[in-house]
């Protein structure tokens, strides 16, 4: 284990060398609204800047500089730029929507945007078919290249060549482009754009990219370090799975303190997407989602359909969260939809104002108490292993997190239960 220990020591020093990005301000409207990691909304703001008719009132200036400085496209005249339309969520069919489209009589430029969303089968291949005098623009946090899974035609063998794709990054290309423009902007647009840049920096996590580049240099210094890296890599998936198990084990212990208070009973019949079965290697296989969780039946919640049970569930999709769900014992599966009639019955056992149904979820929240979907620094992301998730390796940190999480689940979910 000599080289493995030495390699880990060097990597640890690199982690300490690169400091996290320091936001320009403690207050950022994009973070406050929980939208900085939502691709659709981040795209809408970017698209409005690119739109000559956008609310910014700057005409073609954003679009012109984007075409020149980011896409290296200089053949569009000012007349053509002024006739350019910029659309978001451009509908191709019931399955496909291009995130951003720049189009005019001569060009159709499809832009596929990725922040945290997974690739879809044949997505890049399909989008490129609509391009006109352009490559497919692929915008990711660090300018990553799309995989063959996305470039290969669905149900076919054709593969979109990489030279038909222009990879650009939020961290370098978009931030660099906007930074050059801020000196030319007047308030309040300038401050808004600067907050947008700030949000991009935080989401892009440039610290992680810089550490990765430094660590790659170390790995390639010698065959011994490279072999040590391979040995460590083989252990990492198991280590991450073990960490998830430890967190769920501790959550289960902490939940034991309050189950009787809220009439909760551990679910033992269906073992539906339990962490014992679903915290496994498949969770880290590409785009797979296994939804490991912890289920409790709300004993006294009796809906008119006797086969429908109300459960309290803690789950990991990427991030950890919890909520009240409806389960169909007849089919042994989650309900397809929470109907109006079901909501009326749920209101007997839960404050009506707390009912916000989505899928089989009656109500939900993150372990920090937030109820708006988004990316939060203090919520563990076990798929991408954000700093919050990594910090839970430390037992003391994990115990403090678990106590805080259960307290927030009580405050924002369980305390809204009634007649139990």
Highest averaged pLDDT of the listed ranges 10-19, 28-37, 152-161:
152-161
Query: What tens digit of pLDDT does each residue of 300-312 get?
Result: 999 988 999 999 9
* Strand-pair partners of 18: none
Q: What are the residue boundaries of the structural domains of the chain, listed by start?
A: 22-204, 235-416
DSSP secondary structure string, 94-159?
Answer: SS-EEEEEEE-SS-EEEEEE-SSPPP-TTHHHHHHTT-BSSPEEEEESS-PPPPHHHHBPTTS--B
What values do phi and psi take at 145, rounded to 5? -90, 135
Query: What tens digit of pLDDT does each residue of 143-187 get?
Result: 889 989 999 998 888 999 999 999 999 888 999 999 999 888 888
Tell which wins on pLDDT, 347 or 197.
Answer: 347
Whether the CB-CB separation of 403 and 254 falls below 8 Å is answered with yes
Helix (H) or strand (E) holding 176: helix 175-182
The DSSP output letter for 19 is P
* Residues whose CB is less than 8 angstroms from the CB of residue 248 and which lie 6 or more positions away in sequence, other chains included: 275, 279, 292, 294, 314
Over range 357-383, report the average pLDDT. Answer: 90
What is the structure's pLDDT at 7?
A: 62
Over range 228-241, report the average pLDDT. Answer: 84
How far is the C-alpha of 348 from the C-alpha of 335, rounded, in Å?
Answer: 19
What is the structure's pLDDT at 285?
A: 78
Whether the CB-CB separation of 100 and 86 falls below 8 Å is answered with yes
Over range 339-358, report the average pLDDT. Answer: 92
Euclidean distance between the first and the last CA atom of the chain, given in angstroms as a whole number: 56
Tell which wins on pLDDT, 205 or 346.
Answer: 346
What values do phi and psi take at 168, rounded to 5? -130, 165
Query: What tens digit of pLDDT does each residue of 110-151 get?
Result: 999 988 777 888 999 999 999 999 999 999 988 889 989 999
């Amino acid at each position: 284990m000599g080289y493995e220990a030495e390699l880990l020591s060097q990597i640890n020093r690199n982690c300490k060398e690169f400091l996290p990005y320091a936001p320009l301000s403690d207050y950022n409207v994009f973070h406050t609204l929980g939208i900085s990691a939502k691709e659709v909304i981040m795209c809408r703001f970017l698209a409005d800047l690119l739109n000559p008719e956008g609310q910014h009132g700057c005409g073609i200036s954003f679009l012109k500089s984007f075409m020149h400085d980011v896409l290296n496209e200089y053949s569009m005249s000012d007349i053509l730029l002024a006739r350019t339309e910029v659309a978001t969520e451009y509908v191709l069919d019931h399955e496909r929507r291009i995130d951003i489209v720049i189009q005019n009589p001569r060009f159709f430029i499809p832009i596929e945007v990725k922040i945290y969303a997974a690739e879809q089968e044949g997505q890049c291949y399909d989008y490129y078919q609509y391009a006109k005098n352009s490559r497919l623009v692929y915008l990711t946090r660090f300018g990553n290249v799309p995989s063959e899974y996305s470039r290969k035609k669905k149900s076919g063998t054709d593969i979109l060549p990489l030279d038909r794709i222009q990879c650009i990054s939020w961290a370098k290309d978009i931030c660099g482009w906007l930074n050059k423009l801020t000196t030319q902007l007047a308030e309040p647009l300038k401050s808004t754009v600067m907050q947008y840049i700030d949000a991009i920096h935080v989401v892009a996590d440039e610290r992680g990219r810089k550490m990765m580049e430094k660590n790659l240099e170390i790995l390639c210094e010698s065959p011994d370090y490279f072999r040590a890296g391979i040995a460590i890599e083989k252990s990492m998936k198991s280590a991450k799975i073990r960490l998830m198990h430890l967190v769920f084990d501790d959550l289960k212990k902490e939940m034991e303190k309050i189950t009787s208070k809220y009439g909760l009973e551990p679910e033992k019949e269906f073992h539906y997407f339990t962490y014992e079965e679903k915290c496994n290697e498949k969770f880290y296989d590409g785009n797979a989602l296994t939804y490991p969780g912890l289920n409790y039946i709300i004993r006294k919640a009796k809906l008119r359909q006797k086969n429908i049970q109300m459960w309290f569930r803690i789950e990991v999709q990427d991030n950890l969260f919890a909520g009240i769900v409806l389960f169909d014992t007849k089919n042994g599966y989650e309900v397809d939809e929470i109907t109006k009639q079901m909501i009326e019955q749920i209101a007997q056992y839960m404050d009506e104002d707390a009912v916000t149904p989505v899928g089989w979820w009656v109500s939900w929240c993150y372990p920090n108490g937030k109820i708006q979907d988004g990316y939060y620094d203090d919520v563990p992301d076990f798929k991408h292993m954000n700093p919050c998730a990594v910090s839970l390796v430390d037992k003391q940190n994990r115990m403090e997190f678990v106590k805080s999480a259960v307290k927030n689940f009580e405050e924002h979910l369980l305390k809204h239960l009634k007649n139990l």
